[in-house]
Amino acid sequence: MRVTGTIDLLPSQMRLYNKICETFFAICKLYGYEEVATPILEDIRVFDRNLGLETDVVSKEMFFLEKKQDETLVLRPENTAGVMRLCQEGGLFQKLPQRLAYYGPMFRYERPQKGRYRQFHQFGVECIGVASYMADVENIQMAVHFMQEIGLAELTELEIHTLGSESERDAYKQALHDYLLPYKNELSENSVRRFDKNILRVLDSKNVHDQKILETAPVMRNFLQMESAKYFDNILESLENFGISYTVNPFLVRGLDYYNQTVFEIKTPALGAQSAVLGGGRYDGLAQQFGEKTPTPSIGWAAGMERLFLLAQEHQTLSVPPRKNIVIIAMTEAFDQEAQKYASLLRKEGIACLTVHEGTLRKRMKIASRLEAKYTIIFAPKEMENKTAILRDMMRSEERILPLADLIITVKKHYDT
């Protein structure tokens, strides 16, 4: 039995899945991002303090693996912290800026539902060492471009907000605390817990009554000093100039503690409760947790593969090219060797080829259709006697008889048409 909160992918699904992967890496290439890989296994210290001890990810959702004296291993719940560790250990902080991308499985012990799994996959990009607001703009532009390329632009929308600097955020947290205190008894259980431990997360409450209380709560915008306000306004203005539509969502707070200034999410109304397909933001202070002496301005995002996949599958936003196999059918065992020989010759030409050995011709033709054959080549006794074979164009349902000597060249000529 499949483990709760995990999914299998059938071959046809895997093709769509791989298409999304290919699109992601093509976008990375266009924006100059290079792929890195970190292990799935990390020391808990990579995450616990850096993501925030009171965040759901650290306090409730981490998968622990093994304890050995002072080493506690976990399955990574996200990869920005892992990439920071990689930069530090690989000497990349000495060669800034870095534009890095990754893709791989993440693990969170969450209550599974549609679009929320315990093993899921993230695409992520991190632009490390660029302080200009243009890094934010380009990073967001890249995210939107990715959505467009996988056909999800119409189904998703960008939300953006700023968390300001640490001191601005502290002043805001205090104001939010003072505002919410008289309502504390009315807040949902979850929000009361967040009120005590991580007050900004109350803004994220899905509870209707909490949301009503929050309607007149102070907003971060009023706590920004000149510099942060200008930074945010520059980003918004540039997004407009680039024709990227957005909504400023004053309740947008990200689940992890390391963010400052810009935060953003791409959401969809089409997936039920799990509306976020991509999330990101600035994390200028994180590199210091990994040994850097000064803040290292950085911004990045991560997108959830399974949610993108579900959307692309349900709404058929991405066409996957047919497999275009060539299928060779040897009608008697005596032609099996010949069939294999021609299959090898076609493969040498870079053409995908399979042989089908058993069953009636009808059954074998059915298999060829299922294999999405572009052509089927039939080695039948009468034709073979004359050193010919039947070439069937599966799309057009047309057949012709070809000399064996012309077989490879003919298939090659028409394969890409």
Count of residues that interact with ligand AMP, criterion CB under 6 A: 19
Q: CA torsion 407→409→412→414, rounded to 10°?
A: -80
Residues in the chain: 417
What residues from 307 to 326 belong to the interface with ligand AMP (CB under 6 A)? 307
- 176's enclosing H/E stretch is helix 166-180
What residues from 226 to 245 belong to the interface with ligand AMP (CB under 6 A)? none
Q: SS3 for 21? A: helix
| Rounded distance between C-alpha atoms, residue 240 and residue 245, angstroms | 7
For ligand AMP, the closer of residues 263 and 373 by Cβ is: 263
- Our finding on whether 200 is near ligand AMP (CB under 6 A) is no
For ligand AMP, the closer of residues 52 and 304 by Cβ is: 304
Tell me, residue by residue from 89 to 128, as one string, x for binding to ligand AMP by CB under 6 A and - for no binding: -------------------x-x----xxx--x-x------
For ligand AMP, the closer of residues 162 and 376 by Cβ is: 162
Residue nearest to ligand AMP (CB): 304
Nearest to 203 by CA among 303, 190, 326: 190
Give the shortest CB-230-to-ligand AMP separation in angstroms.
Answer: 26
Of 141-149, 193-201, 276-284, 288-296, the segment contacting ligand AMP by CB under 6 A is 276-284
DSSP state of 356: E
Give the shortest CB-154-to-ligand AMP separation in angstroms.
Answer: 18
- Our finding on whether 81 is near ligand AMP (CB under 6 A) is no
For ligand AMP, the closer of residues 114 and 357 by Cβ is: 114
- Our finding on whether 278 is near ligand AMP (CB under 6 A) is yes
What residues from 281 to 310 belong to the interface with ligand AMP (CB under 6 A)? 302-304, 306-307
Among 27, 276, 311, 373, binds ligand AMP (CB under 6 A): 276
| Rounded distance between C-alpha atoms, residue 27 and residue 142, angstroms | 7
- Our finding on whether 52 is near ligand AMP (CB under 6 A) is no
For ligand AMP, the closer of residues 7 and 229 by Cβ is: 7
For ligand AMP, the closer of residues 119 and 148 by Cβ is: 119
Of 43-51, 220-228, 270-278, 353-361, the segment contacting ligand AMP by CB under 6 A is 270-278
Among 255, 285, 297, 300, binds ligand AMP (CB under 6 A): 255
Give the shortest CB-279-to-ligand AMP separation in angstroms.
Answer: 4
Q: Half-sphere exposure (CA, 13 Å, Cβ side) for 148?
A: 11
Among 78, 157, 159, 210, binds ligand AMP (CB under 6 A): 78
Give the shortest CB-124-to-ligand AMP separation in angstroms.
Answer: 8
For ligand AMP, the closer of residues 223 and 258 by Cβ is: 258
- Our finding on whether 143 is near ligand AMP (CB under 6 A) is no
The residues of the shown chain that bind ligand AMP, judged by CB under 6 A, are 78, 108, 110, 115-117, 120, 122, 254-255, 276-279, 302-304, 306-307
